[in-house]
Structure 1
Amino acid sequence: MSAVALTLPAVAAPDGAALFARCAACHTRSGAGVAGAYPPLGADFRALAAKPAGRRYLTLAVLRGLSGPLMVEGKTYRGVMPAQVLDDASAAAVLNHVGTKIAQSGPAFKPFTEKEVVGYRASGATLSSAEVAKLHSGAGGK
């Protein structure tokens, strides 16, 4: 009897650019944001992504949402960001899309991993969107 190898179909990685289409409704396709409502996804994103607390904040912003005033690049934003219903791989994919294609200024970008998102999701499972927003300044947001 010979052994038969079983091949499972390859699972395509989530498409961060396609997922970003939801984000673009508020942050715009270029990530420029909307004055007073939705912040730009640029230097602030890159600065946050360069620090562990910032990476946690960015992940939780996507997974748990944001509410309450937020100061980004010296301007106040008062829009509400709903939590996005994404699995861990998809959350990493959209964050990586922003970090590589949208946010072009700031520190070098290190991609988010699915494992990293799993940990941040667990650590912020009980946080409200207002509590996540409060993490911004403590995480190094500008």
Structure 2
Amino acid sequence: MKALLGIIPAMAVMALALPAAAAPDGATIYGRCAACHTKTGAGVPGAFPPLGADFRALAAKADGRRFLSLAVVRGLSGPMTVEGKAYRGVMPAQMLDDASTAAVLNHIGTQITKTGPAFKPFNTKEVEGHRSSGASLSAADVAKLHAQVGGK
């Protein structure tokens, strides 16, 4: 028993010495988004909307930030108007954890979109709250939120 008690503190010290998990890389994650939205975020006319001024405008408002988080975690389906153009495509829900969702949204907000209001980074807790509050929404429900939160 005495030997076991000596091992427990040593194990605790070893656990503290383990390196922290690396933060998700938003640029790498964005690679899957670029397949539709393009590397520059310009999108494909009529099929996939651009990630530009609309993104930044939404990211500046609490309900817009919720929409952007839910677009990633729940997906989008159905008609939307972005920057004055109609889109009817489908974006599947991305199977990302909250930290990875925040990382990709932050990459878009800092590296892809350069116009619009100043960008405030997303954090894991914020995305977690959005995911929880939108758990019952379908991709079509999320797409409808775009206009409701001031997306244009």
Tell me the TM-score normalized by structure 1: 0.96
**Equivalent in the alignment of 2:122:** 112
1:26 to 32, 36, 40: 36
Name the SS for the 1:36 alignment partner. coil
* Equivalent residue in structure 2 for 1:102, among 78, 90, 112: 112
**Amino acid aligned to 1:67:** S
For 2:78 and 2:106, how far apart are their aligned partners in 1?
Answer: 25
Once the two structures are superposed, the pairs formed by residues 27-46 of structure 1 within 5 Å of their partners are 27-46=37-56
CA–CA separation in structure 2 for the residues paired with 1:89 and 1:54: 19
Partner SS state of residue 81, structure 2: strand
Q: Distance in 2 between matches of 1:70 and 1:36?
A: 10
Instruction: Could you tell me which runs of 5 or more consecutive residues in structure 1 were left unpaired when the two chains were aligned.
Output: none
Percent pairwise identity? 71
Structure 1 residue runs of 4+, over 4 Å off? none
The one of 100, 108, 128 equivalent to 1:90 is 100
RMSD of aligned alpha carbons? 1.0
1:65 to 52, 70, 75: 75
**Whole-Å separation in 2 of the counterparts to 1:10 and 1:83:** 28
Residue segments in structure 2 that go unaligned for 5+ positions in a row = 1-5
Q: Which has the higher helix share?
A: 2
Instruction: Give the counterpart letter for 1:57 in structure 2.
Output: F
Give the count of matched residue pairs: 141
Task: List per-residue Cα deviations over 1:69-100 (Å, max 9, x = no partner).
Answer: 11001100111100000000000000000000
Measure, in 1, the Cα distance between the counterparts of 2:25 and 2:150. 28
**CA positional deviation for 1:10:** 1.9
- 129, 134, 137: which one aligns with 2:144: 134
Structure number, greater radius of gyration: 2
